[in-house]
Amino acid sequence: MNRVFIMLLLLTACLEPFEFNRNNLDPQLVIEAYISDMSYNESLQAPSNGRYFIVKLRFSQPVDKLQGERITPFADIKIIDDVGNEWLYYENTREWGTYVLPDKDFKACNDRMYKLQITTHDEIISGGEIVYESSWEELPSATPDPVEEIWFEEDERKTYFYPAGEREVGDEKIIKVFTSIPENSDGQVRYYKWHYAPMWVYEASLATGEELSPFKKCWITSPLYLKDYTLEEDVVGGVDKELFTLDVVENRRVFNNFSVLILQQKVSKDYFYFNELTQEQSKPNGIFDPPPANLPGNFSCLTDPTKKPVGYFGVVNESAKRWYFNKDDLSYYVENFLRRECLVRYNRPEDPPDYAPECLNCLENTDGDATLTQPSWWIEN
């Protein structure tokens, strides 16, 4: 396809807002997807275990019913560039609805535009084969900003405590984690997004002896911890940006070594505002929730224009940096109370000890996915 013609289409096209219809009983396809100029192999240098590009699909419930996933579709997914190259995704059978691009060298290039095409196959929900396609997208910049220095500051916040079953307001010790945004000399507005992949060490406090000691120490990851992302619309740069906060006194994730892979993205204006609106609507306010607003996604349905998918295919600049934290870096003492908790018995003194499984085997930890294998890049700090 002629590149000039593609550029004209890109510049003149409008993002089609998704309108929630309270009377529509048909579930809508929800799409999460992005690619960047950092390949899997390059992401290893953060250091990390590597990050593949993925697509997540699900069907939404009607707005007037319970929110959440109804069913995940079967789909064929591919990326297409503006000279006809294609890259295929494959479904992760351990996580239905998640599709992985297994090419370790693939990354978005500055002189190319990309679109995502999704073909779903579901007779019950979709009524057969349905084709969805994103608009053409390209990298927002030829010069991605590296993640600057990461540091934390001690702070406190008000929270509720329940001594003796009575609710009281008190101060909770936390840390705030920061980075800096580089100087913006060209005066162009820059749009940033940060998201996080935490990992921490968990030790089974009572794992001793020849048989149990191999299960004493695990490395834990969880997509549910620090799952929110951070956004910033910047004009001048040269400022400090708060990324996230951690409670530290009773947070057993930080009792040993704790680390976060920080992914910094420079995104387009439209992708930024899509993420901002999505983030606003995900905040629970109970009866004070605003009515559902339009989400300016960049997908359309080629098979049936009346079907309105929800989602945005982003093409972003990306850089990564790993941050380590140790509770001994704090100005105050934080007790590791896991052994004390494990030694508490909820049976009669004459009965044999009955400890929680995670006290004896770190693989039984329920905070996330556990492995006995220490990453080759892990630093014991």
Confidence of residue 116 (pLDDT cuts 50, 70, 90): very high
Strand 29-36 with 310-325, pairing: parallel
CB 215 within 8 A of CB 371: no
Q: Is the pLDDT of residue 187 over 90?
A: no
Predicted pLDDT of residue 15: 38
Averaged pLDDT score across all residues of the chain: 85
Place 202 in a pLDDT band, splitting at 50, 70 and 90: very high
Mean pLDDT of 20-44: 81
Q: By 3-state DSSP, what share of the chain in percent is helix, strand and coil, each rounded to 5?
A: 15, 40, 45
Enter the DSSP assignment of 74: E
The answer, yes or no, to whether residue 27 has pLDDT greater than 80, is no
**Least reliable range by pLDDT among 16-25, 179-188, 197-206, 212-221:** 16-25
Residue 79 burial (C-beta neighbours within 10 Å; 0-12, 13-18, 19+): buried
**Residue 346: its pLDDT value, please?**
60
- The predicted structure's pLDDT at residue 284: 64
Q: What is the pLDDT of residue 159?
A: 80
Residues 132-186 have pLDDT tens digits of 999 999 999 878 789 999 999 999 998 876 766 677 777 889 999 999 998 888 8
